[in-house]
A and B are shown apart, each in its own frame.
Chain A
Amino acid sequence: MSATSAAAVQIVGAHKSFGDKKVLRGIDLSIEPGTVTAILGPSGSGKSTLLRAVNHLEKLDEGYVAVDGELIGVHLVGDRLKELHEKQILRQRARIGFVFQNFNLFPHLTVIENIVEAPVATGRLPKAAARERALELLAQVGLSDKADAFPRQLSGGQQQRVAIARALALDPQLILFDEPTSALDPELVGEVLAVIRRLAETGRTLVVVTHEIGFAREVADHVVFLDEGVIVEQGSPGDVLVNPTHARTRDFLARVL
């Protein structure tokens, strides 16, 4: 899995509310290029919202996200951030991979059609080249024999591996994973984590919202613990997971381990 140059992510002053509920309450986070960042936190802590804000699936009320110094979903007009036109947002998203908890493969398309769709639709690759690339990617996630299967015919783990291949088809330097193993049967978690682990070695920037503490400890360079919309604690896995300084982090780890 080759990568050119990884992307850096900067999140500054991120605020977001759903109605009266404040989900993000001033998040500042810097992610170094080529690193693996694991975002942990109890459910409702805002970790998925934060991840979705990175590719503007969720609009921030205040603050911004920048990838490699480029504002995502907004631009500066005078002294105010304004939302970009949808076309420009879509163009930015095509450079950021996103893997969903529920895979969200297109059920009416075959595995290979799922992977070919985005590069062809965005004009990135002609159809034949996109197909060739898709077969390469399927080989990388160990599903060469499933190219013509429909998503329904695959196990959850296989579907998630196809979803990862689909995200890779656009050659993103930044890939976001939203609880990629939470919808899987326990015995299928390993195969998906193995694919993500191998991706981590390609030098791409990965941001993973996860409940897999073991995986975070083993693969992440940086661990962020979120609770009630703020970053409680962040640092190396050794610091945050082994010697947490905050009571809330300790409570959380005690409950999930």
Chain B
Amino acid sequence: MTTASLRSGVSAPASPEHRAQLVPAAALTRRVQPLRRPWQWVATGVVLLLALNFGQTLFTNPAWEWSRVGHWFFNPAILTGLTITLEATAISAVVSFVGGVIVALARRSRNRVLSGAAWLYIWVFRSIPLILVLVFLYNLASLYPKIGVGIPFGPQLQFSTTNVLSDLTLGVVGLSLAEIAFAAEIVRSGLVAVDLGQHEAAKALGIPRYRQFTRIVLPQALRTIVPGYVNQIVGLLKSSSLLFYVSVLDLFGVVQNLQSTYPSEVIPLLVVASVWYLILTSAIALVQYFVERFYNRGLKGAR
């Protein structure tokens, strides 16, 4: 009320005496002091103390065996394992994304059978632990010695299960099966987030249906999808260590094997694996930064 009337000039203009009523004149010439936050300093001290304590042990505790870490870091076996981890993660990430888009679209379909099947798929593979899926696949040959597709009770196209699924293929299939379920939900949330008016504008301009999706809807959905899906890829990278249990020698698998051969080097080998996983995750985060920046273009306008 006061500010409004002052601004409109209804009341008399503020004179120096008028301003000095509430506080002494000297207080008006000094900057307002921000609130002090002493507990912040305490918290900082505690964190630093803990960090220094732990940091010290890295140097003083000989069991870390840093020289052995250096020795193993670029070991050919480790690097081979690293390649397998990268391969399994990269292939599964791509397959899962494409599969995720398809399942998400099926889930949104007007066709009840399609959307029902997509729902069922997501329900099953979100529920079953990945390790179970992998072991199931590993034993698939005893469940279905031959796999194939065809018309029920009619002609079939069949393959021997053990021929089709090598260990790495099996691992990638298992990872993807599980990952598609999560990717589908991430993609679906992204598609839902795109304004209905965008679909309508694309329709009204007569843009062909496939292009409506690839050029108008998906790029906008990706803004929402990318952060969630990258998070998912990081999870995938780590989940790929489960492939060890179905006899795929990924980074973790190689380290496990080396540990049984060199029992005295358990700690440095674990450090090597951890550092490699840290590096891979950081690389993914870096890629994420640039991808997000690309899909956010046009959305940080001046107004």
Contact = CB atoms under 8 A, between A and B. Distances in A.
Contacts of A91: 206
B206 A90 contact: yes
Given A104-B198, A108-B220, A152 B208 contact: no
Interface in A113-171: 117-118, 121-122, 150-155, 166-167, 170
A231 to B, nearest CB: 24
A20 interface: no
A90 B298 contact: no
A55 B297 CA distance: 32
Given A100-B197, A108-B295, A153 B205 contact: no
Contacts of A94: 205-206
A105 B204 CA distance: 12
A55 B204 contact: yes
Interface string B264-303: 0000000000000000000000000000000101111111
A121 B208 contact: yes
Contacts of B297: 108, 150
A79 interface: no
Contacts, number: 91
Given A93-B204, A121-B205, A121-B206, 16 more contacts: A57-B200, A57-B203, A87-B209, A90-B203, A90-B207, A90-B208, A93-B206, A94-B206, A98-B205, A102-B197, A104-B195, A108-B219, A109-B298, A151-B298, A154-B303, A155-B303
27 contacts: A57-B200, A90-B206, A90-B209, A92-B206, A93-B204, A93-B205, A93-B206, A95-B206, A96-B204, A100-B200, A100-B204, A104-B201, A106-B201, A106-B220, A107-B220, A108-B219, A108-B299, A117-B205, A118-B207, A121-B208, A121-B211, A150-B297, A150-B301, A152-B300, A154-B301, A155-B303, A170-B206
Interface of A: 55, 57, 86-87, 90-96, 98, 100, 102, 104-110, 117-118, 121-122, 150-155, 166-167, 170
